[in-house]
Structures are given as structure tokens and as C-alpha cells.
């Protein structure tokens, strides 16, 4: 967490502060950015589905307004979260990433998952509550592993059909119930490219708000097998030399960090820093 942005559970009944406005099209922004005076936002007659106090930015309270649907606001436009990740202030992206996850959770937990009755916010706690069932719903975090598989000066990179044309990245996948992160890694590599791994080493983690992933980053060494891409999941997978790499993921992503870190260590270059961390993890 940066010194500019910190999470907190704030009471929406309190006046003042900043507001970020979110819909299915992303976040509302104007020429000044995405932080609007909360009183101004409340005067716009927006179709607010839910409001949650999410923390402090530069010492000021921040609330997220989740809308039923996007609307036109004079002098403003909607921009997707990925664009904020790729450009601009990383502290602002961190704020918006958290806001997106809380807003998604708020939209999906307006009603009790057991009986279907309306749920209410719990004061002072990030939870939605059903009095009838005595059931609390908390924001979900889904652990997933992401791994850079290496073989000396070669790294294994793959393409999903969903990727931007030409871009190759590391392998990744969500953990199944009952799996450890290491078991997930071994299974995903087997499923996606039919390779075996050894010497698994944890490197770093990154919150990935699309919408609620916690990416656990690993490095592993090749232990055997021939590449067989998983149908419908992997379009192509190849070994690439650290001296001749294809187009890679965005620079602020943990996938790119894992790649850049290994390349730097093989070539004796300065090690990169993952945004949100003060130094690389060994």
C-alpha cells in the first residue's frame, strides 16, 4: 500500500470527501482525473446502486459510487480499469483497483445468497449482512498462481487466444479448492503445456483487480516433457531466448516483472521493481 493511498471502512453517512464513480464501462473521469468532490457527485442525480467508503487518498476520505448503468455526464467520459493500469499514476490505479473490487462485491451481494432477502452494510466492517440468516458476505479474493518456467537462457512463454495480437506471457491459473499454490502451479503447467517443473521458488504477489484475483508469482525450472498446448486455452507456446523475446505483457504487471527479473539476473542487469514494492523478492 502506498503512502498516498490506504484502505479503510468508512461510513457513507458521513459528509464530505472524494468520490470515484464506477459503472460497467469503467470509471468516470474529467480533465482533472477520477476524484470528484462527493457533494458534486451526489448532486448529479446519478443512478447509484451502492455507495461504500473505501479509504483515504492524500489523507482525504474516498467513497465509491457503483451505478446501475453508465450515464452521460457533461464534461466527463468513461475509461476502463486496464487503461488506468497502463498509464498514469500507479497510486491512482491502486485506488481504482480496490474500488472496482469493492464495487463488484457490492453489486453482487445486495441480496442474501441463502434466502434472497436484501442485505445491509455492516457498520465499521466490510461485510453485507442478512439478519434473517445471520449470514455475512465479505469481499472475495481468488488466489491464482503465475509462473515463469525457465531452461537456462530460455524462458517458456505462451499465447492465449484472448491476448493482444503477438503478445506472449507467462502461464497462470486459479487454485482449486484444497490445492496449495505449488500444487496449482504443477497442475496448471501440466494442463496448459504438458511440461514438468522443479525447484519452485516464490517471487512476489500482486493484487489483480479483474475483478478479484490475488496473483502469487513463482519461478520454476524445466524438468521434462515436450510442449503440447492445451486446446482452446493455449494458442501457442514456445521457448524463447532471453536475447530474443517476443512482445511482452504490460510493464506494470507481475507477468512482465517475472520475465524482466529473470532476464536481468541472467544478463547481469539492474533488477526491476514491481509497482507497490520497494524491492524485488528473492
Domain 142-267 has CATH 3.40.50.300: no
- For the stretch 250-260, pLDDT in tens is 888 899 999 99
- For the stretch 191-233, pLDDT in tens is 999 999 999 999 999 887 777 889 999 999 999 999 999 998 9
pLDDT-above-70 percentage for the chain? 97
Whether 2 has a pLDDT exceeding 80, the answer reads no
SS (H, E, C) the chain: CCCCEEEEEECCCCCCCEEEEEECCEEEEECCECCEEHHHHHCCCCCEEEEEEEEEECCEEEEEEEECCCCCCCCCEEECHHHHHHCCCHHHHHHHHHHHHHHHHHHHCCECCCCCCECEECCCCCCEEECCCCEEECCCCEEEEEEEEEECCEEEEEECCCCCCCCCECEEEECCCCCCHHHHHHHHHHHHHCCEEEEEEEEEEEEECCCCEEEEEEEEEEEECCCCCCCCCCCEEEEEECCCCCCCCCCCCHHHHHHHHHHHHHHCCCCCCCCCCCCCCC
Please, is 18 exposed, middle or buried when counting C-beta atoms within 10 Å of its C-beta (0-12, 13-18, 19+)?
buried
Q: Could you tell me the pLDDT band of residue 275, with boundaries at 50, 70 and 90?
A: confident
What is the average per-residue pLDDT within 97-106? 94
- For the stretch 67-81, pLDDT in tens is 999 999 999 999 998
Top mean pLDDT of 73-82, 86-95, 243-252, 255-264 is at 255-264
Whether 281 has a pLDDT exceeding 60, the answer reads no
Handedness of CA 224, 228, 234, 238 (dihedral sign): positive
Q: Mention the CATH class of domain 5-108.
A: alpha beta
Q: Where are the domains of the chain?
A: 5-108, 142-267
Amino acid at each position: 500500500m502506498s503512502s498516498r493511498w490506504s484502505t479503510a471502512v468508512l461510513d457513507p453517512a458521513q459528509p464530505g470527501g472524494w468520490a470515484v464513480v464506477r459503472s460497467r464501462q469503467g470509471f468516470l473521469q474529467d480533465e482533472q482525473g477520477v476524484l470528484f468532490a462527493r457533494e458534486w457527485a451526489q448532486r448529479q442525480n446519478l443512478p447509484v446502486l451502492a455507495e461504500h467508503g473505501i479509504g483515504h487518498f492524500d489523507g482525504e476520505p474516498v467513497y465509491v459510487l457503483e451505478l446501475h448503468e453508465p450515464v452521460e455526464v457533461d464534461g466527463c467520459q468513461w475509461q476502463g480499469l486496464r487503461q488506468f493500469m497502463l498509464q498514469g499514476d500507479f497510486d491512482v490505479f491502486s485506488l481504482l483497483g480496490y474500488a472496482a473490487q469493492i464495487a463488484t462485491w457490492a453489486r453482487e451481494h445486495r441480496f442474501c445468497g441463502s434466502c434472497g432477502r436484501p442485505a445491509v452494510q455492516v457498520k465499521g466492517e466490510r461485510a453485507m449482512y442478512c439478519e434473517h440468516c445471520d449470514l455475512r458476505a465479505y469481499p472475495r479474493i481468488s488466489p491464482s498462481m503465475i509462473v515463469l518456467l525457465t531452461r537456462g537462457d530460455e524462458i517458456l512463454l505462451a499465447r492465449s487466444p484472448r491476448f493482444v495480437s503477438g503478445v506472449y506471457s507467462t502461464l497462470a491459473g486459479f487454485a482449486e479448492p484444497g490445492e496449495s499454490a505449488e500444487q496449482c502451479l504443477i497442475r496448471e503447467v501440466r494442463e496448459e503445456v504438458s511440461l514438468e517443473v522443479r525447484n519452485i521458488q516464490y517471487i512476489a504477489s500482486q493484487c489483480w483487480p479483474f475483478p478479484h484475483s490475488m496473483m502469487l508469482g513463482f519461478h520454476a525450472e524445466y524438468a521434462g516433457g515436450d510442449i503440447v498446448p492445451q486446446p482452446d486455452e493455449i494458442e501457442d507456446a514456445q521457448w524463447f531466448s532471453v536475447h530474443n523475446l517476443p512482445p511482452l505483457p504490460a510493464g506494470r504487471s507481475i507477468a512482465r516483472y517475472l520475465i524482466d527479473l529473470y532476464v536481468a539476473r541472467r544478463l547481469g542487469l539492474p533488477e526491476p521493481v514491481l509497482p507497490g514494492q520497494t524491492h524485488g523478492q528473492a
